[in-house]
């Protein structure tokens, strides 16, 4: 199988050299040629470096590739879909064995995915899904159930506020507009809190999954709304940014404003253990080992499940105190 592919690979080396300039334009790229030592070559396009979660995810993928003996070509798209499309096209030109990517947004992938399919290169979606109707454009999805994360957050809030009298005003910091985790977490949370009419989302805006975005949007929320009871942030980093805005406004995070976030990275868990956050739904970034396993299987032409979901949990303040000492990321 691999011998039959050698001539195509040789052309790939030339293409890689010719395309080195355009790869550099895609961000922090590792350019290079084929895995001449017989290694599987995996081209991976990462969303960016917007959060602690993302850094842990990148580290997991790089480490796992080394351990699995897979040659990884890595590109950081800096949160831009056009950079991801460029990177994927570049991987197609290089004739890598497998392409994987974490799509920054859900829509707009059909053309480039069809190009990969036509080139005979299997594609694995990791972390975030696409909304393509044609499921044959990719082999599998590996990641979290984001709707469930939103729902668990909403269910915890219902229980936490069951004795509250009067309206409970919620502000929501959404992730990157159009991304699967922003769409799905919003949906899951809204569906869950619909069971209690006193829980009302009074403002909802994107903070782009960054600390700076979380801080800036929370400042606006605090200026516009004198009574905010709850913050639901789609990730820890936006919640951590919002803490600064809340403190600067003279309020006590975790007491005056109940704070729910998603991810459970170390900094988020520390804020939870310190009483500044109140609840976190976990989203695991440690996808590297499973991704390498899948890359080997799809390269070998083996059947893989269409969707593989990560096992995750939730944390209260007490649980965070217990878990923190052993938290890996």
Which positions lie near ligand AHR, rule CB under 6 A? 50-51, 53-54, 127-128, 181, 209, 235, 237, 262-263, 283
- Closest distance of CB 296 from ligand AHR, Å: 24
Using the minimum distance from each CB to ligand AHR, give the nearer residue, 150 or 253.
Answer: 150
Sign of the four-CA dihedral 34, 37, 40, 46: negative
Using the minimum distance from each CB to ligand AHR, give the nearer residue, 12 or 27.
Answer: 27
- Parallel, antiparallel, or unpaired: how do β-strands 279-282 and 258-263 relate? parallel
Using the minimum distance from each CB to ligand AHR, give the nearer residue, 127 or 172.
Answer: 127
Burial (Cβ within 10 Å: 0-12, 13-18, ≥19) of residue 79: buried
Tokens of 120: 């005979």
Residue (of 315, 206, 225, 213) closest to 262 by Cα position: 315
Helices 266-273, 236-248: crossing angle, 10 deg rounding = 50
- Closest distance of CB 204 from ligand AHR, Å: 17
Which letter does DSSP use for residue 310 in this model? P
- Closest distance of CB 37 from ligand AHR, Å: 33
Using the minimum distance from each CB to ligand AHR, give the nearer residue, 113 or 233.
Answer: 233
SS3 content of the chain, % helix, strand, coil (to 5): 45, 20, 35
- Closest distance of CB 316 from ligand AHR, Å: 19
Using the minimum distance from each CB to ligand AHR, give the nearer residue, 219 or 267.
Answer: 267
Which letter does DSSP use for residue 208 in this model? T
Sign of the four-CA dihedral 290, 84, 237, 229: negative
Q: How many C-beta neighbours within 10 Å does residue 53 have?
A: 23
- Closest distance of CB 263 from ligand AHR, Å: 5
How many whole angstroms separate alpha carbon 231 and alpha carbon 271? 14
- Closest distance of CB 250 from ligand AHR, Å: 28
Using the minimum distance from each CB to ligand AHR, give the nearer residue, 34 or 263.
Answer: 263
């Amino acid at each position: 199988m691999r011998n039959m592919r050698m001539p195509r690979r040789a052309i790939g080396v030339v293409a890689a050299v010719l395309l080195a300039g355009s790869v550099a334009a895609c961000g922090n790229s590792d350019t290079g040629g084929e895995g001449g030592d017989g290694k599987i070559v995996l081209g991976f396009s990462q969303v960016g470096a917007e959060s602690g979660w993302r850094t842990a995810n990148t580290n997991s993928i790089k480490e796992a590739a080394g351990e699995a003996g897979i040659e990884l070509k890595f590109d950081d798209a800096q949160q831009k879909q056009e950079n991801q499309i460029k990177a994927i096209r570049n991987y197609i030109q290089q004739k890598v064995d497998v392409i994987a990517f974490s799509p920054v947004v859900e829509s707009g992938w059909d053309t480039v995915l069809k190009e990969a399919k036509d080139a005979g290169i299997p594609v694995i979606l990791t972390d975030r899904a696409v909304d393509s109707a044609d499921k044959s454009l990719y082999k599998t999805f590996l990641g979290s159930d984001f709707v469930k994360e939103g729902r668990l957050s909403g269910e915890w809030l219902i229980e936490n506020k069951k004795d509250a009298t009067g309206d409970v005003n919620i502000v929501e910091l959404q992730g990157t507009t159009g991304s699967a985790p922003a769409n799905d977490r919003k949906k899951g949370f809204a569906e869950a809190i619909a069971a209690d009419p006193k829980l009302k989302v009074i403002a909802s805006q994107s903070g782009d999954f960054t600390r700076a975005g979380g801080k800036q949007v929370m400042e606006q929320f605090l200026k516009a709304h004198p009574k905010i009871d709850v913050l639901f942030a789609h990730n820890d980093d936006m919640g951590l940014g919002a803490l600064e805005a809340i403190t600067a406004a003279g309020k006590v995070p975790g007491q005056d404003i109940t704070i729910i976030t998603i991810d459970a990275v170390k900094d988020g868990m520390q804020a939870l253990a310190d009483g500044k956050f109140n609840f976190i739904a976990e989203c695991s970034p440690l996808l590297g080992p499973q991704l390498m396993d899948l890359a080997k299987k799809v390269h070998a032409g083996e059947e893989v499940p269409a969707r593989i979901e990560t096992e995750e949990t939730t944390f209260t303040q007490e649980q965070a105190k217990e878990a923190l000492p052993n938290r890996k990321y």
